[in-house]
Amino acid sequence: MNIKTISSSPYDDQKPGTSGLRKKVTVFQQPHYLANFVQSIFDSLDNCFGQSLVLGGDGRYYNREAIQIIIKIAAANGFNELIIGQGGLLSTPAASHLIRKNKAYGGLILSASHNAGGPTEDFGIKYNISNGGPASEKYTDAFFKRSLEINAYKMAELDDIDLDTQAEFKIKGLKIRIIDPVTDYAELMATIFDFDLLKESISSQYISLCFDAMHAITGPYAKRILEEMLGAPKGTVINGEPLEDFGGGHPDPNLVHAKELAQLMFSDKAPVFAAASDGDGDRNMVLGANIFVTPSDSLAIMAANAHYIPAYSKGIRGVARSMPTSQAVDRVAKAYNLPCFETPTGWKFFGNLLDADKITLCGEESFGSGSNHVREKDGLWAVLFWLNLIAKRRQSVADIVHEHWQKFGRDIYSRHDYEAVDSEIANDIFNHLRELLPTLTGKNFDEYAINYADEFCYQDPIDNSISEQQGIRIGFKNGSRIVFRLSGTGTVGATLRIYLEKFVKEKTEYQQEPQQALANLIELAEQLSEIKQRTGRLEPTVIT
């Protein structure tokens, strides 16, 4: 195999965020940009020679071209096996499963998750390690350091590979497998959930459902599992064809971007259950007739009801949530005497806990939940969990949620996103908040007495690594919270997120509209952060 060494110059903007490197497509299309970053990854790993690599993405614009580039660089760096999803497609949880099942050295997942796609929109790449989970900060810091000094990369002189035909072949010692992207994942789901019960419940019309794939990666997965394996009627999966630009939509499963689904579920034609997933298939939105289940509540309800699911029927080891996620799951853990961990945002922080068998279920407020079956959040897994729960309990989504609130209380919760904020302004807001922190504890703001105010710092209980500046927390004596955090998933400016949480115990308070119930907290968050004054924004970009 002929290998070329191609000279290049480093870029200074290749620091991965919480979910890899995300930039505009036009940035990745710059000369040597993608190749430099991929070579920086391989240079930072211990030894790629003779190893196996999983490769695939969510099908967004530039996915195919990027895969051809990566194949040539991987071959030149000594990988001897590449496992690639047909068409260059793999959902993020399916890629995690393939890494684990094949005992691969790692995987490269091409996605910008819930971000928009298209020639002028977003692209992303992240490296997952051998446990199937995202690379930790130890790795991503090394990738960035190497990217600042790289001056050349290696490429094998190969013709482009036919990605559209399932096949297994060798090219000068390099084994390439183009596999069906769905089969292995679907088989895994059948080992976790009661597919016989689900088929009966769907065929008897006890469960009617609609799944919005948002023209993203989960279309083929949902059609195979929900329609073909479980017998849901054709058309149950809407927007089911993956498109490079997600059909011009925004593949973020929330009430704003999955508008068609939300309108259906709050109409007199609503089925029993509905859900949506995002660009790469790792997020989920769950709805019942006239009810939206917040991701925080969804995680708590899963933890409280895991014993109904075959794979977790003997009990779960513990639970974990990201710091901004509501404390609803903490209340379940306390009631059932389960260990409960609070981690920074980013699925990589759950990996050590899962590998050490400290937890079984985990989740974050940004529409992500998962378990020990893979090392990523998993949208379709969550959908099947809820379907299995409805079928087993013979209750509607609303009844399950309301019964949960009656038992544990409700954490009324909302997230306010200010997107594409000038980075300097965003940093000034956080510096302002940091200066306030020492003065806040003990202060009273009407019904809200501040119990603590800090900047979250996480020490991993498994490897003792430290992650600092993970968000600002203001906790109140009545169990409520305000959290401020800068997100690492955007590609333009900064995304400033404000998380608002009010705990209520009385049944008369359960049905409050979240924005009204949180009005005083929203005003207090503005008072403390001065976000509207400093940004000139009249309101958040998105409220969920």
pLDDT tens digits, one per residue of 513-536: 999 999 999 999 999 999 999 999
Give the residue ranges of DSSP H helices in 356-444: 379-393, 397-408, 423-440
Which of 130, 160, 181 is the last residue before a domain boundary?
A: 181
Q: Which of 164, 181, 198 is the last residue of a domain?
A: 181
pLDDT, tens digit, 9 for 90 and up, residues 420-432: 899 999 999 999 9
Look up the CATH number of the domain holding residue 72.
3.40.120.10
- Considering the domain architecture, whether residues 272 and 288 belong to the same structural domain is answered as yes
Task: Find out whether 282 and 259 touch, Cβ atoms under 8 Å.
Answer: no
Residues 172 and 197 placed together within one structural domain of the fold: no
Q: At what angle do helices 379-393 and 92-101 cross, to 10 degrees?
A: 90
CA 108 to chain centre: 16
Dist. CA 354–CA 258, nearest whole Å: 31
Cβ count near 541 (within 10 Å)? 14
Q: Are residues 436 and 398 in the same domain?
A: no
Beta-bridge partner residues of 274: 210, 287
Q: What is the DSSP letter of 248?
A: G
Strand bridging mode 458-459 / 174-179: unpaired
Query: Are 357 and 439 found together in one domain?
Result: no
Chain centre distance of CA 192:
20
Total domains present in the chain: 3
DSSP state of 173: T
Considering the domain architecture, whether residues 9 and 122 belong to the same structural domain is answered as: yes
Cα–Cα nearest to 208, from 149, 277, 268, 289? 289
464 shares its domain with 371: no
- CA 397 to mean position of chain CA atoms: 23
- Buried-state track 196-232, b at ≥16 Cβ within 10 A, e below 16: eebeebbeeeebbbbbbbbbbbbbbbbbbbbbebbeb
Q: Are 307 and 288 members of one domain?
A: yes
Distance set, CA 115 to CA 7, 111, 112 (Å): 32, 9, 6
- The verdict on 174 and 197 lying in the same domain is no
Q: What pTM does this model have?
A: 0.94
- Report which of 93, 124, 95 is spatially closest to residue 22, judged by C-alpha positions: 124
Q: Check residue 491 and give its pLDDT.
A: 58
Task: Assess whether 49 and 145 both reside in one domain.
Answer: yes
Domain boundary among the residues 181, 199, 214 is at: 181
Per-residue tens of pLDDT for the chain, all 544 residues = 899 999 999 999 999 987 899 999 999 999 999 999 999 999 999 989 999 999 999 999 999 999 999 999 999 999 999 999 999 999 999 999 999 999 999 999 999 998 999 999 999 999 999 999 999 989 999 999 999 999 999 999 999 999 999 999 999 889 999 999 999 999 999 999 999 999 999 999 999 999 999 999 999 999 999 999 999 999 999 999 999 999 998 999 988 889 999 999 999 999 999 999 999 999 999 999 999 999 999 999 999 999 999 999 999 999 999 999 999 999 999 999 999 999 999 898 999 999 999 999 999 998 999 999 999 999 999 999 999 999 999 999 999 999 999 999 999 999 999 998 999 999 999 999 999 999 999 999 988 999 999 999 999 999 999 999 999 999 999 999 999 999 855 556 789 999 999 999 988 888 889 999 999 999 999 999 999 999 999 999 888 8
What gap in Å lies between CA 266 and CA 439, rounded to an integer? 45
Q: What is the CATH number of the domain that holds 534?
A: 3.30.310.50
47 touches 74 (CB < 8 A): no
Pair 370, 234 in one domain: yes
Domain ranges, residue 308: 184-408
Dihedral, CA atoms, 52, 58, 63, 68, nearest 10 degrees?
20
180 SS3 class: coil
CA 359 → CA 303, 340, 350, distances in Å?
11, 8, 9
Query: Phi then psi for 177, rounded to 5 degrees?
Result: -120, 115
Positions annotated as catalytic residues are: 113
332 and 201 together in one domain: yes
Q: Are residues 96 and 222 in the same domain?
A: no
